[in-house]
Amino acid sequence: MLRLFATVKKELLILLRDRSGLAILFLMPMALVTIMALIQDAPFRDYQELRIPVLVINHDKGNLGKKIIDGLTNSKVFQVTLFTESEIEAKKKVAKSDYEIGISIPEDASEQLNLRIQKFVTITLNEVGIVDTRVKEQTQSTKDTTISVYFAPNIKKSFRNSVLSSIKQVSSKLETQSMLDNFKKALNQDDDSTQNTNQAIDDFINFKEEAVIENQYAILELNSVQHNVPAWTMFGMFFIVITLSGSIIKEREDGSYLRIKTMPGSYFTVMAGKIVTFLFVCLTQCFLMLLVGIYLLPHLGLPQLIIGTSKAAIALVAISSGLAATGYGVLVGTLFSTHQQSSTFGAVSVVILAALGGIWVPVYVMPEAVKFLAEFSPLFWGLSAFQNIFLSHGDVLSVQIYIYKLLLFFGFCIGISYIINEVRQ
């Protein structure tokens, strides 16, 4: 036990002696969380908050143009601006990204729509044997009603499709209403009886968003803060592989490790001192990151970090993640013999594990092959556990599988390190 305390004291003194390195160890991850949360705030934010600017040129004097404008205006997504200049000028503004979307409604849009609907109604009634004596078959030439929609060059294809779908939804209800009115008019023999039949149709199917968790935390959604704080906390923990592996290699190079071996005790006692010390560093990092999310980021205009209700689950996930990170650092320090080797491999491997684990891009948007590989990343296990607690009101039972995986990873790394160390002796 004295040897363990002596090892911990030695490691703490070494860390405290390098004050600039210690500051980097704590301040850099905090700065990283803050910067990444600010950068990724817009992609995570709901489009309802962004109010996407739309430029509309309405040449139509009928209902179609008015209904489209009303539908876009009443939505919480678009900020509609009516444009009275030429369509060429409108395209220039959209091309320069002054507006994200431009919509041009032709002057005869409503008229052509009505003609096509009347013709369709007359032909349909005649085909089923119901001849309308009042409405003659349309002889006027009709053409498609085409509404031009153009986008700024930086708009993604998926968003273009969603905008087009929203516009089609507005126009389709008007089209259905017009068709229904024309059927009623064609089937009614008394002209006066049609005066009170033009009532607006209601939606036959309505959609209502329901929460999957029936408690006060059901409204939580994945935003830039809820993602980046646990994500970069995991990244910061595992990045101590450079410091920890460097400490192990330095002891071998300057002879400290040989002097330690001459003292009574086992390999595990020596490693336990390093593990306890760097576990304390990891937990301190985690604590500081949570404080940044709760207190600092709201002052920068970002949402506040919500950590759920299970403090015990947070503590267990933090401890198991810290052990997994320190175990990986011990393994890298044992495998390699120089600082250059350990720092290069450690940094690159952590970046790869972070990429696979969903630190930059959520795993659910990755290809299936990458999703399979993500299951083997300890950063994915820790991030998934934290998000389960923060977003889904998780407790110890709901994250125990991730805790077991992290602890098994720690045991695997320490076991391989012990075998390598014994083989070298």
pLDDT digits (tens, 9 = 90+) for 324-338: 999 999 999 989 888
Q: What is the pLDDT of residues 153-203, one digit of tens each?
A: 767 676 777 777 777 776 777 777 777 877 777 777 545 444 444 555 454
Q: What is the pLDDT of residue 332?
A: 93
Across 381-385, average pLDDT: 93
Q: What is the pLDDT of residues 87-108, one digit of tens each?
A: 888 888 887 777 878 888 888 7
| CB proximity list for 32: less than 8 A, separation 6 or greater | 232, 235, 236
Q: What are phi and psi of 139, to 5 degrees?
A: -110, -10
Q: What is the pLDDT of residue 65?
A: 80
Q: Average pLDDT over the chain, rounded to whole?
A: 77
Q: What is the pLDDT of residues 196-252, one digit of tens each?
A: 445 554 544 444 444 444 444 444 566 778 888 999 899 989 988 988 888 888 877
**Residue written as token pair 């059901």:** 218
Q: Which 8-state DSSP code applies to residue 292?
A: I
Q: What is the pLDDT of residue 135?
A: 47
Give the three-class secondary structure for 44: helix
**CATH node for 50-194:** 3.40.190
Each domain of the chain, given as residue ranges in start order, spans: 2-44+221-424, 50-194
Neighbours of 15 (CB within 10 A): 18
Measured on CA atoms in the order 126, 129, 131, 132, is the torsion positive or negative?
A: negative
Q: How far apart are CA 141 and CA 98, in angstroms?
A: 39
DSSP string computed for 96-153: TTSSSEEEEE-TTHHHHHHHHHHHHHHHHHHHTT---SSSPPP-S-------EEEE-T
Closest by CA position to 206, among listed 162, 159, 173, 171: 173
Q: What is the pLDDT of residues 8-46, one digit of tens each?
A: 776 677 666 766 666 666 676 777 677 766 656 655 655
Give the three-class secondary structure for 81: strand
Residue 285 to residues 23, 28, 108, 372, 388: CA-CA distances in angstroms? 11, 10, 65, 29, 20
Tell me the angle at which helices 311-335 and 378-391 cross, rounded to the nearest 10 degrees: 170
Q: What is the pLDDT of residue 414?
A: 93
